[in-house]
Structure 1
Amino acid sequence: MDRNDLLTATRGAFLRAFNAVLPKLVSHSADTLFLRADRAASLSEQRQMLDARAALMTREQGWLQELADGMDRLLNRSYQTAYSTFRPSFSESFSADSLSLVDASEFDGELKIDELTARLRNAAEEQLRDLNIRMAILFDQDDINERENPFRPYLMSRCLSMAAERLNIEPELHEVLCETLAEQLQKHVIGIYQSLNQLLAQHGIAAQLQLRVRQLPDPSTLRHMAADPMEEIQNSAQAHSDYIDTSAAMAAAPANEVIHPLGRLGQWSALIRQQAAQGSDEAWDAEESAGLAAPNAAAQAGWLGTVKQVGSAIRQLFRGQASVQIQPQVLSQGLSQSIDLMSQAHLQGVQLDERGQVRNLILEQRAELNAASNDINEQMIVDIVGMLFEFILRDGQVPAEIRAQLGRLQWIVLKTALQDPALFSQKHHPARMLVNRIGSIAQGLQQLDPKAERVTAEIRRIIEALLQEEEESAALFSRMLDELDRFIARELRAADEQSELASQAMENAESRTLRFARITAQTAQALAEFTLDDLLHDFFINTWPYAIECAERQDQVQALRFRIFVPELIWSIAPKAERADRQQLLGMIPRLIAVLNEGLKFTPWDAAQQQQFKSYMIDAHRTAIAGLAASQIEVPSMEMLRAQLAEFIGAVAADPDASQLAELDEINPVLLDRAISELKVEIGFIDRQVEAELAQPGAAALHDDTAAPMSNEVLFERLRSGVPIEVNLTGELRPARLCWMSPNETRLMLKLEEDAAPSVISVSVFKRLLQSGRARWLEQALLFERAMESLLNSADIMDAQTA
């Protein structure tokens, strides 16, 4: 389909999807305002909510018309302000006086349109990101910019504000109405963007930009060091083309390449020491033969001239106990400017040498960096970061494509380390954790999904976002780490329908368990002042809440009937002394039985238990009609009883948030089985398998008394979505992948086989499997830690040989 035609079709799909939700948007907003008025803390607040509801309901058709027309006008202008390199041909047909997207009225500032836009954006985060990518592709752009997306969330929040203005809504009601409408629109925005993504996907517009790698024009003119310490640098005859395919370039580097322990570290350290000690022409000759050059001996010697044992000095830095105090500091202006200048190349893409290997630009330009600073601490950090990246860029456990992207982080990590040397001593430093997370995910995908195109693209996006920020900060790395974690969790679930359904079933079961617990607590509180038979009390507290919980998720009217059933049943079994009361009871009994039968279908009771309770009710009603002991018991009227339980009747168990889910210890087994059954998904439960195994005669205990206990801090440091592991449940270790973790970090979901059903395991049992050797990390050490250990080992070997 022609690009103009596809944009026209996309515009039509957006308008249809938006207009389709408008009737629900208005009606549900009116219901929400009524509920807020009912729960208002003051009369003025209640009046405001009711006035807002009246403004919505009395002008319902006006709202629908203004919202539809306003979005149409906004879209016209939106197409005119999209990516400047391309304009749809039909955009010229719009009048010049079309509505502006940026001329906000005075009220817009009060309404905080940006805040409403952020809520809509967060509600459809994944679908919006995919649409932003597809729009960039459709407009033939390399960079993703939501502001250029003609269908961005801003249009929706702006449309709400415009409708309120054009309907002459009172200013004091603007914010209430727009916030309420936006709140309801959040429930539909993901569906709107999903329809656009589906349309574009059907016409071949994928949510993935092409990965381009840019190389400097002439790498042979720049100083660089050889990967092999004994290999002399050969001048390249011709530079590569500016843009090359990543996979082809990376194929030139062996996947299992391992740097020699006396590699560059031993090379540059030994030569620098020799030069610092002798300052002779022989040192210069030796340096030049090794491919190194520097303006002067002092600059080359740097911090190495002040220490006797390189390994010991580096180890102290990594422990935060450097002999010279390394504290967070202001970066030297000259060094900062040099780093900013040298890092510009990485904004364009991956830098490769003539052999197709990722270039270590820090070590290549070490001399210039040291010349830009006279601070020994800074010179030490430059060398350390350069050597760490030397190991990272040659680590065979990480796919070449991911190493290429990690190479682009050289300068920003260097600048971060110079400003905050705690990067070396704190395992939880955000920059260090991001590098480790990328390494772990890359290794897991290398084992289970060699292509991993979407994940590679997301890693590239995150790295580019880091490089485009002007200021380096731990908060920026933390934000990018959170974005990567969220993407990986969604990607793993979306890539496997079974895992997606199983994760959804577990989350539904957790949410329903908390809702059930709240309803149980509400019922117990409501009945605290009543003296009931044990059977009836147990029924209300432990059984009937299942019916209320299920109804509140599906039918609010039915849920209300189930709540009203509680006071009605209590009143129905009380002795009836008056004839009118007996007549009222006889008229109620058929309805009570109907509601009971309706609700019992949602409870875990079998037929025998249900019949037992019905028999109890028949006997209780017979006794009540007989009026036995009526004179000794003061029975309130039905109206009084309903009023006394009004709070319980009008209550609704809200959906739990993440913090509340984190407090959940156990999942209700009835609700878990129901959630699994509703989604028709198969889930394995490893705990049951392990318990059955341990119950067999002669079974060995599932722990190793000789193994060092693992702390929860260490365990949760490694437990992240997508982390690769190996588990022995059938007699041999098999690869597995962590694809879900409960919010309270008590349950994990593993995918053991590609075609097998996902399995749930408690964290406590998984920890015992690790202790016993029946589970192990596929990545024995994290990437940054591997680089640090390799650097220390190489330094110790070099120190031993030069002692």
Structure 2
Amino acid sequence: MNEAFEPPKIVPLAPRLDTTGERVGELLNAVRGIAGKRLQQCLGNLFEHVDDALFDLAEKAENNATQTHYFDGMREVRKRRPAIERSFLATVNRELGVLTGRAAPTASAPAPAMAELSLVADAELEESLAITSMSSKHESRLARDLFAINQRLSVICGGRKIDEAGNPVAPAALSQAFRQALKELGADMRVKLLIYKLFDRYVLSTLEDLYAEANAELARAGVLPQLRPVAPRGAGAAHGSTQAVAQAGGAAAAGAGMDELADPAATELLQTLHSLFVARRGNSPAPLPRAGDAGGPPPSTNELLGALSLLQTQLAAGAMPAAPSMAASVGSLERDMVTQLKEQLLGQLGALRGARPSHVTSIDEDTIDLVGMLFEFILDDQTLPAEMQVMLARLQIPYLKAAILDRKLFAHRQHPARRLLDALAEQAKGWSPESDRDGRLHDKVKNIVDLLLHEFDDDLGIFERLLLDLQQFHELNRRRSELAEQRVAESTRGREKLEQARRRAAREIVDRIDGRKLPPLVHEVLARAWANHLVLVLLRQGEDSAEFHDGLRFVDDFIVSTRPVQDTAARQQLRHLLPGIERSLRQGLANVAFQPQDIERLLAQLRDWYGQQLGEPARDAAPAASAVAAIPESILPIVEQHAEEADELPGESVPVATDSAEWQQVEALQPGIWLEFQLPDEPMVRAKLSWISPMSGRYLFVNRRGLKVADYAPQELAVLLAGGHAQVLATSALFDRAMSAIVSRLRQPGTADPNADIE
């Protein structure tokens, strides 16, 4: 959703905000006032509808006990309403104060006693699912306004980044604050879930008004006043709008009593998948009975989870293949494990039941097939190195369990399990043995896979914890690699500036010589010593400086001084030029570190030559060796070599047209994109585009540690792409790519087997 905004810019504030003064306190208090007023009004609307909603449910109750629960809930809500409102508003107010250190963080709630854990777990899971569902929906719906208020709060807090996770008025934070406040309520979970649904409708669905007022107030106060959305709000963000119910694979949330709130695009994709699976079952012949198959009811969710847990234990007990054999094993052991899981699961169910079930429910079959096809895609995905494909393929059973426990895994892009798999794949994309010599990334991925295999039973919170651990690992390595990248870019930039200055100096000298045959001594001074002087002036003072123009004027005078002296006027002109030439030479040669004795020796040689031109008596002979030889040749090659290079564009002979697909692919590359290079007789290399030179247009590539791998001119890169020696790795998330590939596969005529190879 953030693409609805232009990239954030640093906007100067006038006057500049004092992040430690009273001005910041006033701005934050303004936000607190707006939030407090609007949230109090929204809570009032919520509680005014609780009685009616509970009364309606009580009238429709299936028995007296349930009806009594609802009536007891009505009385409890009336009694606890003031305390709930106070707790909620106080938490929001306090957390806003924490942003600038003006209040202490909220103390964590005490952990329940061990005896209560088994009773608390199911209720807390239902509560967590309700919170996650409504928070995700509104964070997506309100992304434009939420982005703006996050940016402005970041400015108020002195540049400290504020995002959805740290914004006290973001949907997730408000939902958690309300959850904490509802601990005051002694009603059962059915009553609480109804109140959460009303919180969604009367509080979270009206947040756009709060954000709009807060953004407008801060903008008027000079906090990022130019920050504006570039696209109008969609119809789905209208006041009080309700979102479509998204059921993962057509299943309702078990016992939650809440709408399955999902990303609309993901919901549409799941509905398409469900239809394709239904069509596949309708077009497929009935399975032949097997020995040991039995009729009876299909396995329950608990039976499926139990059988999967046993298979998971067996897999966890197996030894991980050694790294050198991993690449060769892709397509054999791991592929068999992925494609045969359904059969293994039915066999395990048969062992538990005493007779193998002949079928599972359609929703469970869809889930099993969908997860299986997801992990087949992982084994075929060229974006992942073979070693990483093998490790990630071992997660099929934990992810199948997660999908059965929580049908929203495929419907919500922000689901922790989905985000963890995407994050693992993104980290694995840039892995190679060369860039991970210490094995830190390999060991981190393996550790996460092993933890899921050994520890995941039914606690979906493990995905969130492992995701946080992986993000912290990535952040630490990102800072290290960014420092290395900066050093590489600065070094490359420095070399390019030096090369550009050399070429410019060479071109200026060549243009002024214009094919004339100069005396060897004069040519040597210009091509080596004076060219170095011009390079240093360009690097230090720039091409518009008086020093650079003086240096070019010397070149003109020096060349003019070599013309034959044929009359008195020419002799007078030469005598007029010589003092300036000598003075400029002394200064220029000193600038390029000529030793005083070398300067004097050179000037003596020049005086003798000019004396001969003027017909004056010869002086004492100067040393035969040229004084210019004292300057190292490596600083600047002779000018003719530079002139030849300057006339030849890099890659000019590359046979790739500028309107070709490869050329367009090169032009579309942006820093951060990963490529795989496979050059002849060299090992495969994965590298990230780190920097595009604004001077030469060359593309600089680094590995995941930020170390330089290569740099190519655009033409060279187009040739590699055209020849298949380079390929651009996918930038979209693994899960999204897999879902698109699965839909494409199922739509192909004649596709009946979900375990068929995915292209």
Q: TM-score, normalised by structure 1?
A: 0.33
Structure with bigger gyration radius: 2
